[in-house]
Amino acid sequence: MVPPATFTSYYGRPIVKASPWKSDIPAYLFLGGLAAASSLLAAGADLSNRPELRRVARIGALAGGAAGTVALIHDLGKPTRFLNMMRTAKPTSPMSVGTWILTTFMPMASLAGAAEVAALLPFRIPIAGRLLDIGARPAGLLAAAVAPGLASYTGVLLTDTATPAWHAAKRELPLIFVASAAAAAGGLGMAGAPVGQATPARRMAVGGAALALVMEQRMERSMGLSAETLHSGKAQRLFNASRALSIGGAVGTIVLGSRNRAAAAVCGAALFVGSACMRFAVFEAGQASARDPRYTVIPQREGLRS
């Protein structure tokens, strides 16, 4: 299929508007995914008695979720009104659904994470410390129960728009986002836990990175014309960096991850950063596709002709 060389527009001006979102939103896409997959890793580590892996994963879930929440509020046009998100619950709004998922996740992940932080302190906290010890496991498991929603809804958040590059990726993006979340959380686990305890983290990291890379290929085919936006400008640099870091990190993990803690940490960091770069690449590609009317007009014209 060769796209038509020319199309008409109104003085080249955009038809749809790009989102007004700044880097807060792609940062949240990454941090929310990191938190979600970390809470699943933490739950597994808890149940399989891997305390050091559990610690880094629970703290990752707490820190990722907290930083992501701050980013979300910071991005609002009226941050003081962030609680208005909770006046309603709307299944037609992925952002509303996500608000309630995050609202369920955060207290649970915070409790489990706080228990790990408290355990690191040189002294015992009198009563609250005991409560944290008791509550950590059920809270961690509850956080893990909503984690799949937290990791995947952000894919729908982007694809449920008129932004050409996002909407065209609707069949792949949620899967790419969960895979990327697994790679980031696995990478963090590899960096933060000794190699003996980090086997599940390595598997999660490599599996996530591999699935994301495969699905990205499929996504580009689904995107049609708008896939161009992944291969120019800022999105291209981020997308290329993401793929290089993910491939390098995954191969390094397979070769060296179980032998050497330092090598595992480097590979984990590569996968972690690679996951973040992918979120920013997809975000920037969407913004670029909204700014150029060709990505709105040409696919719609082709749809009308067929």
Partner 1 sequence: MWGWSNAPDPAADTGWTNAPARKGFFTDGSVCIGCKACEVACKEWNGIPEDGLQLLGMSYDNTGGLGASTWRHVAFIEQPRRSVGTDGLTPLPMVAATSDQNTRDGGAETGIRWLMSSDVCKHCTHAACLDVCPTGALLRTEFGTVVVQDDICNGCGYCIPACPFGVIDRRDGPVGARNVGIAQKCTLCYDRLRDDMTPACAQACPTQSIQFGDLDELRVRAQDRVDTLHAAGVTDARLYLADPNDGIGGAGAFFLLLDEPEVYGLPPDPVVTTRDLPAMWRTAAIAGATLVAGAAAAFVRARS
CB of 223 to partner 1, least distance (A): 15
Residues 156-175 touching partner 1, rule: CB under 8 A, are 156-157, 159-163, 166-167, 170-171, 174-175
One character per residue 225-264, x = contact with partner 1 (rule: CB under 8 A): ----------------------------------------
124/175 Cα distance (integer angstroms): 42
AA identity, residue 119 = A
In this chain, which of 68, 200, 257, 274 binds partner 1, going by CB under 8 A?
A: 200
Q: Is 149 in the site for partner 1 (CB under 8 A)?
A: yes
Q: Does 269 bind partner 1 (CB under 8 A)?
A: no
Q: Which of 5, 6, 11, 306 binds partner 1 (CB under 8 A)?
A: 11
Contact call for residue 77 and partner 1 (CB under 8 A): yes
DSSP 88: -
Amino acid occupying residue 170: K
Residues 175-194 that bind partner 1 (CB under 8 A): 175, 177-179, 181-182, 186
For 7: left if phi > 0, alpha if psi spans -120 to 50, otherwise beta; the answer is beta
* CB of 177 closer than 8 Å to CB of 219: no
* Angstrom distance (rounded) from CA 133 to CA 135: 6
Tokens of 66: 């907290």
Binding to partner 1 (CB under 8 A) within 14-73 occurs at 14-21, 36-37, 40-41, 44, 47-50
Q: Is the dihedral of CA 196, 198, 202, 203 positive or negative?
A: positive
d(CA 76, CA 239): 27
Contacts for 86 with CB less than 8 Å, ≥ 6 apart: 99, 103
Residue 301 C-beta: closest distance to partner 1, Å: 6
133 forms part of the interface with partner 1 (CB under 8 A): no
Which one among 104, 199, 222, 240 touches partner 1, defined by CB under 8 A?
199
* Closer of 142 and 157 to partner 1 (Cβ): 157
Residue 187: closest CA among 209, 171, 165, 212: 209
Quick one: DSSP state of residue 231? G
Which is closer to partner 1, CB of 90 or CB of 130?
Answer: 90
The nearest distance, CB 270 to partner 1, in angstroms, is 19
